[in-house]
Chain A
């Protein structure tokens, strides 16, 4: 990319070829107002807010679409440009209901900001007073058409970032309206509630049900952390106020997800309804009763000293906790294992990154269901499919990616996929524990062109395996220790543990907890500190967003304390 020299408002600016005036101006700190433009989305050029004058070009140019050129002279605040911006704002304020004082976005709205900037202090045009519908058929967020300015950021986000293609515009002209699928209620549509549209909406049209009216940008606290709801490890911006969780946003430009989140990262954990374990519990006279940490830990330590212990942990905790867990059982001479199965290491290919999916021309999905369990990966694959990549799904059971796949074959026909991939330039093999050895064998010969992406069921499987832990089943030990964290155990596990003395380190009440002999409370995702290792093996910080309840202690700290008592 070569350098381009131009002037913006008489000030010399150096940009890169291929940049638009808007990009060059932003890089140079010149603020051109926009509404339909968003850095994560393709240029649209439709709101007409960013009009500027360029010497030698007829009429006004939209800065968001006009490429820069050497010697260009741009003026961003000429009378003509400002007049058009005011006109556009006046039109938008006349089109639908923009009585800001009743809007939850007041103070944080890009439309309102622009109106203040250009001194709009009254309605210029007759207003139609049409009442449009509000769609609250989705659980986590609401669409209020009355506040929509039809910038289509949401539509573009849905199709370009999530590649889900749920949103579009209905009808045309003055009747235009954002719709889901073929105009069904949003809650009955193909919407996956990833909330990307919510995050890009410049106005109060898309409303987060939880954080609405909960605090303006100037009142809230942002904490960056790493999502631990699946093994991908997306970057999160957790928004809080007065020690209350308001909202989770994606972070544009971050690794690995570039701002994209899924319903499990953005919304679901904020709606937790299980009952929290808030203090240590010890079984006395057949009943679990509250106890102090000292009592609870010495009870556990006494059992450990008696020998015959087995520890099983979820991967869903920090690297520090997993290391302490392994250390504890080494010292206790007990067996330590993982509750979740571990995805095999293939022993060939390059370890791929999410971004590799986007420029691959052939993607194989084997033994994995990314659209259900590592959704962000699923969305990346959908995006690749939109760009023309071949997507091959190898599965013997139903797979939700099938609808976006070029080919879906059973395991028996895995060779067909390998054959189809023979001429591809870059192949990404996305797999999980379901992959079978004949599939593994089928792709070995692809060599350098093959990138592998293991999607583990365990959320921090990379951290767990680094600590030397492997998957294990409950054995005949007399004392069993479970680090369950926030995971809810499956029923098979609950029934298998009958008989032994059971210690559970958990955040929430569950059958296993209720049947345990000692229960140790553990932090939930936004209370943890430490690190996690993402799908690609990169160690990421996990930040404490909100303080833990008084009697809850950090996993690693508890495990180390126990070890010290042995």
Chain B
């Protein structure tokens, strides 16, 4: 009989800090006390802050220790699990824990709790255990859909839930699926975009590492809804552990006939493959992703035709972000109305953010759509680090923008942000305090885009290099007013004329920077 569960954080950072040894030490100590049949040890996805990693979580109490070395891990066994005493000096500090505990799954209605749909299980279950996923309602939605819903009903539920793509653009997911379902061509494919290379974004990795089956179940439901029987997960090359977890999860699901042929004895079959990228940011762009998946050079395709018509191997394809797919099973299980009750009218549901920069607590946050940036920083981020003033936040990636202080109270949802000319981006929140230099920030972001330009189109390939050159001159005090005007002009043209979202986004740090912080750019001019 299992009376306790001990989870060690098994993300790459924790592992690099010896989490493996910690786990082995805990197991050895449990064996020493003869507790191996009573206490189960597992890995969990990474939780929130990095400075306390690796953490050890003891359930059912939900007590968090960190950072834990092999020696202190042994102490936790002898003290906490054998003698039943908390090891006070190893507890994650109270201040941290209040934010931390949310991530580790306490009741939802406590003061600081986040609204959890996507991250409901991440960090609380062992991602290597399909049983734990099932114990937490896992594959119930798929079972419900396959036994009591037609594909059309699944499609309608997703459509009326109002779910919008979480990969950045906020395209209505139900509509995308409908386009694919309407195509006469087959086979059709489901592709999960787990390339996640947007600067400062790592939510998808944590979702996959913490709750892989949620993504698989979402893909299977998508397959059922649009008539696809094969799915591909295109995962960022650096995400070795996430890839391993996914492959493990796929095998486990196949063994239980939750994936594979004739799922749960029905006529629906769905197979999932994992494909690792090779480190190009542009491969997150859906058509470049499809090229890469086909073994071609990872550069974007002409659109139209869109992937819904001409996608993987030229067939109708749904490309959805990890977080989008992780929302599907809860929607099918609880219904569209339940989902619509979360978030805002125009953007239902929650959004997962990776908050980093000058906030007290950085890490993963899931909050209802429409939560303002001020609330997110204040409540989940523990305020600004060192009590400094907020200056700006960058929302990450190709659809992100710089958000100035005057927009701190705009509800963060796709529509409201768009009205203000800013974007929700990929869900990164790079929070910058008053000491941040906006020109430097723009420089760093433009450098990223320049490095990652695929080089296909002229404006992005050459224009990003010219923008970077001009910004560098500005930083070094070598630019005159005419140079700044020229920079703004290049930025405008690159945005107008680039082939894909990468080039269209590359000038955004400059353009929004100039819009809200022009004087800072001007202060760098010579004479």
Q: Footprint of B on A, CB under 8 Å?
A: 43-48, 51, 59-60, 65, 67, 80, 83-84, 87-88, 91-92, 94-95, 125-126, 128, 149-150, 152, 168-169, 171-176
CB of B115 closer than 8 Å to a CB of A: no
Contact B461 A47 (CB under 8 A): no
B127 CB to nearest chain A CB (Å): 33
Contact residue among B462, B493, B496, B499 (Cβ-Cβ distance under 8 Å from A92): B462
Inside 8 A of A80's CB, which chain B residues have their CB?
Answer: 496
Residues A173 and B499 in contact in the complex (CB < 8 Å), given A45-B302, A48-B457: no
Extra A-B contacts (9), CB below 8 Å, given A46-B458, A173-B450:
A45-B457, A46-B456, A48-B459, A48-B497, A65-B302, A83-B493, A87-B459, A91-B458, A176-B461
Judge if B3 is at the interface, Cβ distance under 8 Å.
Answer: no
Cα distance A128–B468 when bound, in Å?
13
User: Which residues of chain B are near A91, meaning CB under 8 Å?
Assistant: 458-459, 462-463, 466
- CB of B453 within 8 A of chain A? yes
A87 to B466, CA, bound (A): 12
Given contacts A91-B458, A94-B466, contact A173 B497 (CB under 8 A): no
Task: For A46, list chain B residues within 8 Å (CB).
Answer: 456-458, 499
Q: Are A87 and B455 in contact (CB under 8 A)?
A: no
Q: Does B469 contact A (CB under 8 A)?
A: yes
Could you say which of A60, A65, A126, A173 contacts B461, with CB atoms under 8 Å apart? A173
Q: List 18 A-B contacts (CB under 8 A).
A: A45-B457, A48-B458, A48-B459, A48-B497, A48-B498, A48-B499, A59-B496, A60-B496, A65-B302, A87-B459, A88-B459, A94-B466, A172-B452, A173-B454, A173-B455, A173-B460, A174-B455, A176-B455
A-side contacts of B455, CB under 8 Å: 150, 169, 171-176
Q: For B456, what are the chain A residues with a Cβ–Cβ distance below 8 Å?
A: 46, 152
Q: A47 and B297: CB pair below 8 A?
A: no
Report chain B residues within 8 Å CB of A150: 455, 458, 461
Q: A91-B466, A169-B297, A173-B455 are in contact. Are A84 and B497 (CB under 8 A)?
A: yes
> Any chain A CB within 8 A of the CB of B161?
no
CB neighbours (8 Å) of B460 from chain A are 173
Looking across the interface, which residue of chain B has its beta carbon closest to that of A59?
B496
Q: Measured between alpha carbons, how far is A45 from B464 in the docked complex, in Å?
A: 18
User: Does B262 sit at the interface, judged by CB under 8 A?
Assistant: no
B35 within 8 A of A: no
**Interface of chain B, helix or strand or loop or mixed?**
helix
Q: Return A81 CB to nearest CB of chain B, in Å.
A: 10
Whether B451 sits at the interface, judged by CB under 8 Å, is yes
> Given the complex, which residues of A lie within 8 Å of B461, measured CB to CB?
95, 150, 173-174, 176
Chain A nearest Cβ from B457, distance in angstroms: 4
B465 at the interface (CB under 8 A from A): yes
Residues of A near B282 (CB, < 8 A) are: 172
How far does the alpha carbon of A380 sit from the alpha carbon of B241 in the complex, in Å?
45
B145: chain A residues within 8 A (beta carbon): none
Given known contacts A48-B459, A150-B461, is B493 in contact with A172 (CB within 8 Å)?
A: no
Return chain A residues, CB-CB under 8 Å to B469. Answer: 126
What's the nearest-Cβ distance from chain B to residue A65, in Å? 5
CB distance from A23 to the nearest CB of B (A): 14
Contact B302 A174 (CB under 8 A): no
Residues of A within 8 A of B463 (CB): 87, 91
Contact A84 B457 (CB under 8 A): no
Answer whether A95 and B462 are a contact pair too, CB < 8 Å, given A59-B496, A173-B453.
yes
Residues of A within 8 A of B280 (CB): 172
B431 CB to nearest A CB, Å: 29
B462 surroundings in chain A (CB, below 8 A) = 91-92, 94-95, 174
Which of B450, B490, B493, B499 is in CB contact (< 8 Å) with A174? B450
Render B434-457 as a binary contact track against A, CB cut-off 8 A, 1 for contact.
000000000000000011111111
Does B450 lie within 8 Å of A88, measured CB to CB? no
| A168 with B499: CB separation less than 8 A | no
Nearest CB on A from B490, distance (A): 8
Chain A nearest CB from B440 CB (Å) reads 21
Residues of A within 8 A of B493 (CB): 83-84, 87
In the complex the two chains form, what is the Cα distance from A80 to B492 in whole Å? 11
What is the minimal beta-carbon distance from A263 to any residue of chain B, in angstroms?
Answer: 27
Name the B residues within 8 Å of A94 (CB-CB): 462, 466
B504 to chain A, nearest CB (A): 9
A20 to chain B, nearest CB (A): 10
Residues of B within 8 A of A87 (CB): 459, 463, 490, 493, 497
| CA–CA, A488 and B455, complex, Å | 49
Most chain B CB neighbours (cut-off 10 Å) among A60, A83, A171, A174: A174
Task: Name A177's closest neighbour in chain B (CB-CB).
Answer: B455
* Shortest Cβ gap from B188 to chain A (Å): 19
Instruction: Looking at the assembled complex, report how far the CB atom of A388 sits from the nearest CB atom of chain B, in whole angstroms.
Output: 10
Residues of B contacting A65 in the complex (Cβ-Cβ under 8 angstroms): 302
Residue of chain B at shortest CB distance from A80 = B496
Contacts of A67 in B (CB 8 A): 304
Find chain B residues with CB under 8 A from A59 CB.
496
Inter-chain CA distance A82–B197, complex, in Å, is 35
Chain B neighbourhood of A44, CB < 8 A: 302
Q: Which residues of A contact B464 (CB under 8 A)?
A: 173-174
Least CB distance, B312 to chain A, in whole angstroms: 16
CB distance from B418 to the nearest CB of A (A): 14
Specify which of B304, B452, B458, B490 is in contact with A47 (CB 8 Å cutoff).
Answer: B458
Task: Give every chain A residue within 8 A of B466 (Cβ-Cβ).
Answer: 91, 94, 125-126
- A152 to chain B: closest residue by CB: B456
What residues of chain A lie closer than 8 Å to B497, measured between beta carbons?
A: 48, 51, 60, 84, 87-88
B487 CB, min distance to chain A CBs, angstroms: 11
- Expressed in whole angstroms, the Cα–Cα distance for A45 and B305 within the complex equals 13
Nearest residue (CB) in B for A174 is B465
For residue B280, which residue of chain A has the nearest CB?
Answer: A172
Q: How far is the CB of A276 from chain B (nearest CB, A)?
A: 48
* Interchain nearest-CB distance for B302 vs A (Å): 5
Q: Once bound together, how far apart are the Cα atoms of A150 and B465, in whole Å? A: 15
Interface contact B453-A45, CB-CB below 8 Å: no
Q: Mark B477-502, 1 if CB is under 8 A from A, else 0.
A: 00000000000001001001111000
- Roughly how many angstroms separate A91 CA and B469 CA in the complex, as a whole number? 13
Considering the chains assembled together, what is the distance between the CA atoms of A91 and B456 in angstroms?
A: 14
CB-contacts of B270-311 with A (<8 A): 280, 282, 297, 302, 304
Known: A45-B499, A84-B496. A174 touches B458 (CB 8 A): no
In the complex, what residues of A have CB within 8 A of residue B457's CB? Answer: 45-48
Q: How far is the CB of A356 from chain B (nearest CB, A)?
A: 23
In this complex, what residue of A is CB-closest to B466?
A: A125
Asked, given contacts A46-B499, A48-B497, A88-B497, whether A173 binds B452 with beta carbons under 8 Å apart, the answer is yes
User: Shortest 6 CB-CB distances between A and B: which pairs?
Assistant: A176-B455, A173-B453, A91-B462, A87-B493, A46-B457, A174-B465
Question: Is B459 a contact of A172 with CB atoms below 8 Å?
Answer: no
How many Å lie between the Cα of A51 and that of B302 in the bound state?
A: 14
Scoring B280, B302, B458, B461 by chain A CB atoms within 10 A of each residue's CB, the highest score goes to: B458
Closest partner residue, chain A, to B465 (CB atom)? A174
Closest chain-A Cβ to B480's Cβ sits at a distance in Å of 14
Chain A residue with the shortest CB-CB distance to B489: A87
Q: Considering the chains assembled together, what is the distance between the CA atoms of A168 and B460 in angstroms?
A: 19
Q: Give Cα distance in the complex from A142 to B452, angstroms.
A: 30
Task: List residues of chain A with CB within 8 A of the CB of B453.
Answer: 172-174
CB-based contact A92/B458 at 8 Å: yes
Whole-angstrom CA separation of A255 from B461 in the bound complex? 39
Docked Cα-Cα span, A174 to B297, in Å, equals: 16
- Return chain A residues, CB-CB under 8 Å to B458: 46-48, 88, 91-92, 149-150
Q: Which of A60, A95, A168, A172 contacts B454 (CB 8 A)?
A: A172
CA distance A94 to B460 in the complex (A): 13
CB distance from B296 to the nearest CB of A (A): 10
How many Å from the CB of B287 to the closest CB on chain A?
12
A176 vs B453: C-alpha distance when bound (angstroms): 10
In the bound complex, CA of A171 to CA of B459 (Å):
17
Complex formed: what's the CA distance from A363 to B459 in Å?
43
Question: Shortest beta-carbon distance, A147 to chain B, in Å?
Answer: 15
Chain B contacts of A48 at CB under 8 A? 457-459, 497-499
